[in-house]
Amino acid sequence: MKNWPQPVKLFSVGPLFRHEKPQAGRFRQFHQFNFEVIGDTAPINDVSLIQLVSLIFKKLGIRGVVLQISSIGCPECRPDYKKLLTSYYRKQARKLCRFCRERLKTNPFRLLDCKEEKCRQLANNAPQAIDYLCDECHNHFKEVLEFLDELEIPYILNPYLVRGLDYYTKTVFEFKLEGPNPIELAGGGRYDGLVELLGGRPTPAV
């Protein structure tokens, strides 16, 4: 695939199984659609996948779907943000739920995603990743938002959005069905360092 014309665009669909305990509104076995653009750093690729998912929901007649989006930076700028976030939460450690006290030792970013009310209140006052982006990440995210505006794709900027997997870089997004208990219908983001992490050559992807 590395010798194919770049970028490579792939999709797959099929049944998957969760190893961990399913969260509310999720199942042990489920079907999933996957869309990937591999081999290009351009922000338009991030937006093309977001546009594709948005069109799928429209074609299916699913209403009340909201796009949330943010940027979590890259290996160059994220370490400084991580230090600030860790420092903030250490001062609030007594107010955290027992799970977040453990997460603080291993991955402070996951504290922003906690569903416990007391932890959510703390997250609302935590430092925001988008305020600490390097120039490259800032410009990348700026272009993503400009493309979304140009395509008239509505979105909510959620500076505390984090994904459940640690390999994401720069753009992250989720599509949620609005309601008293919002349901995540789709999500994704850029993972420019994953291929290299798995032993391949540096390959940007989303």
Domain coordinates in residue numbering, the chain:
8-76+134-198
**8-76+134-198 is classed CATH 1.50.10.10:** no
The answer, yes or no, to whether residue 170 has pLDDT greater than 70, is yes
Among 111, 64, 58, CA closest to 87: 111
pLDDT tens digit string along 100-111?
999 999 889 989
Q: Which residue has the higher pLDDT, 58 or 114?
A: 58
Which strands form 156-157's sheet, in the order they lie side by side?
Answer: 156-157, 65-71, 169-177, 183-190
pLDDT at 164: 66
pLDDT at 28: 85
* 59-85: average pLDDT: 94
pLDDT at 163: 79
Question: Quick one: what percent of the chain has pLDDT higher than 70?
Answer: 97
The answer, yes or no, to whether residue 1 has pLDDT greater than 90, is no
Q: How many CB atoms lie within 10 A of CB 27?
A: 10
Average pLDDT score over the chain? 92
Please report how the helices 98-106 and 78-91 are oriented relative to each other, as an axis angle in degrees rounded to 10.
150
* 183-200: average pLDDT: 92
Q: pLDDT class for 142, splitting at 50, 70, 90?
A: very high
CB-based contacts of 92, cutoff 8 Å, min separation 6: 122
The answer, yes or no, to whether residue 22 has pLDDT greater than 80, is no
pLDDT at 23: 66
Q: How many helices (H) and strands (E) does the chain have?
A: 6, 6
The answer, yes or no, to whether residue 41 has pLDDT greater than 90, is yes
pTM (two decimals): 0.89
* 27-39: average pLDDT: 91
Please report how the helices 135-150 and 43-59 are oriented relative to each other, as an axis angle in degrees rounded to 10.
40
